[in-house]
Structure 1
C-alpha cells in the first residue's frame, strides 16, 4: 500500500533532526482515494468529547447547542471535540467488516510495514500500530497536549491526511509548541501526506473555521514499542 516510488531516506534524516516530519505521497494514489471516499461516505461516525461518552454526530442544531458548553470546558483544561471511528475496537467487535479501514490496520501491523517504519525512525522496538479515523467539522478542535501515556509505549504519533485541497486558513492545522510555550511550526493536512512526530511533543489541532468547505479527514494513531516483559 505504500507508494511505489516512496523514498524514505530524506525523511529519515529530517525526522532525526527535528523529531517530526510530513511525508507527501505516502500511500499508493488509488489506496488514498479509496480511503478518502470511505471517510466521506461510509464511516458511521460518533462525536467524541473529553470526559463524555461518545454520541451520535453533532451536526446542525446539535452542534450549535453543544459546542458552547464544550468551549467553556476547554477554558479550564485540556479538551477536545471531534468525530471519530475507533478501528481497533470495531475490528475486535466484528463491526463494519466491509470498510477498507480494517485491512489498512492489518497492513499497518504487518511485518513489512513495521520494518519500513523501524528504518524510517531508527527505532527497532516498534511493534504495533493503533488507528482511528477522525473527522473535524467547523468548530471542532483538539487542545494542546503531548501524547504522553503512562500505560502505553507510544513512540511516535501519526496523522494520515485524507482531505482534498485543504487551505491553511480553514484551520485544522497540526500545530507544534516549543518547550517555552512558543509556536514552533505547523503542518497543513495535505492529501495523502503522513504527518509524524516523536512522543512526547506538545501539539494541538486548531479549530476548524466556519468557512471550511470540507471536513478535515484523517486516520490517526501511534506507533508503539513492544510492551516490557512481565516478571513470572
Structure 2
C-alpha cells in the first residue's frame, strides 16, 4: 500500500491536535447519529464504535487488493467500511478509483472519487484503489474508517 494517512479518530479522542477543521468531521464520525445512519443503511443493528483516518493519495500512490479484515486483538467486530471523498474536481482519468468485486466475479466495479460521495460496504470484502498516474497534480483526499459492533 502506498498512500499517506493521518490517524484522525485517534487524534480526536486524545485531543492531541486541538481544533483543526478536520476534528469537526471526526466528531461527526464518532457520533451516535453517524453510527445510526450506517446501521440503517446496511441493516446492521448495534454498531457501537468507529475507527478511521484521513488519507491522501498522490501521483504514484495506490492501495493493493485487501479485504479490511479485522486486525488481530482488536476489540469489537469490524462490520462496515466507509470512505468519504473530499477532493473537488477529480479527473476521471486521474486514477484513485475504489474497485471492489465479489468472489468469483469476472469484473470489478470501480467507483471514481467524487467530492462528498461516501462509499459504505460490509467487510470483509475484496477491494483496491487504482494507481494515480504521474500527470496528476492534485491529491485524492478522503476520510476512511470502520464501524464496529460489540460481538
TM-score by length of 1: 0.59
Between structures 1 and 2, the one with greater helix share: 1
Conserved in 2, the CA contact under 8 Å of 1:141 and 1:208? yes
Residues 1-232 of structure 1 correspond to what in structure 2 (within 5 A)? 80-149=1-70, 150-152=72-74, 153-180=77-104, 182-226=106-150, 228=151
Instruction: Tell me the alpha carbon deviations over residues 15-59 of structure 1, each in whole angstroms, 9 at most, x when there is no partner.
Output: xxxxxxxxxxxxxxxxxxxxxxxxxxxxxxxxxxxxxxxxxxxxx
Q: Aligned with 1:170: secondary structure?
A: coil
Aligned residues: 148
In 1, Cα distance between equivalents of 2:80 and 2:26? 16
Between structures 1 and 2, the one with greater strand share: 2
Give the RMSD, CA atoms, in angstroms.
Answer: 1.7
Q: Which runs of 4+ in 1 moved over 4 A?
A: none
Conserved in 2, the CA contact under 8 Å of 1:134 and 1:217? yes
**Runs (5+) with no aligned partner, structure 1:** 1-79
TM-score by length of 2: 0.89
**Runs (5+) with no aligned partner, structure 2:** none
Larger Rg: 1
Structure with more relative contact order (C-alpha pairs < 8 Å, separation 6 or more): 2
In 2, Cα distance between equivalents of 1:125 and 1:151? 20
Change in CA separation of 1:181 and 1:144 when aligned onto 2, cut-off 3 Å: farther
